[in-house]
């Protein structure tokens, strides 16, 4: 049981580099608000713009997986130039043709939200992290 808990916690992280902020997709909105490592502006945006429509216990993974282009959260995240890092199940080519493996890719929010949950499930998509553009974060007015 401890091993399962540890592996789940591995997908709760905050990384910051010169151009982006990376948030592990297993974070719930409540956990994001309580984590001091999450930049204050992101916590403010979540509190003011996302939580009025979302349950605090919703994970980033779940919210992005079921997000539609007509939601207010989508419009908010679009302003932040969000990208979704995910794993997709693909069929290998060449010598190991026919074998399915996961590949990691970065998908823009518009393309990701355009896919229905059924399409995501059919393609074996798993959300790993959310990438926030720091320049877009800087110019976002709270």
Q: Give all domains of the chain, ordered by start, each with its CATH number.
A: 2-139 (3.30.465.10)
Taking residue 105's Cβ as centre, other Cβ atoms within 10 Å add up to 13
* pLDDT the model gives residue 8: 58
pLDDT averaged over 10-residue windows placed end to end, the chain, 142 residues: 55 93 96 96 97 95 95 96 94 77 94 95 94 96 87
What is residue 92's predicted lDDT score, i.e. its pLDDT? 81
Nearest to 110 by CA among 139, 67, 53: 67
* Helix, strand or coil, per DSSP, at residue 112: helix
């Amino acid at each position: 049981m401890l091993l399962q808990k540890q592996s789940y916690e591995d997908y709760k992280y905050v990384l910051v580099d010169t151009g982006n902020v990376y948030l592990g997709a297993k974070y719930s909105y409540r956990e994001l608000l309580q984590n001091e490592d999450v930049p204050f502006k992101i916590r403010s945006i979540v509190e003011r713009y996302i939580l009025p429509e979302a349950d605090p216990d919703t994970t980033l993974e779940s919210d992005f997986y079921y997000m539609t282009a007509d939601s207010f959260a989508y419009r908010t995240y679009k302003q932040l130039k969000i990208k979704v890092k995910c794993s997709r199940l693909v069929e290998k080519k060449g010598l190991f043709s026919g074998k399915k493996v996961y590949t990691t890719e970065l998908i823009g929010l518009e393309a990701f939200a355009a896919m229905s949950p059924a399409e995501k499930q059919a393609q074996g998509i798993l959300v790993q992290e959310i990438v926030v553009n720091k320049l877009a974060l800087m110019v976002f007015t709270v």
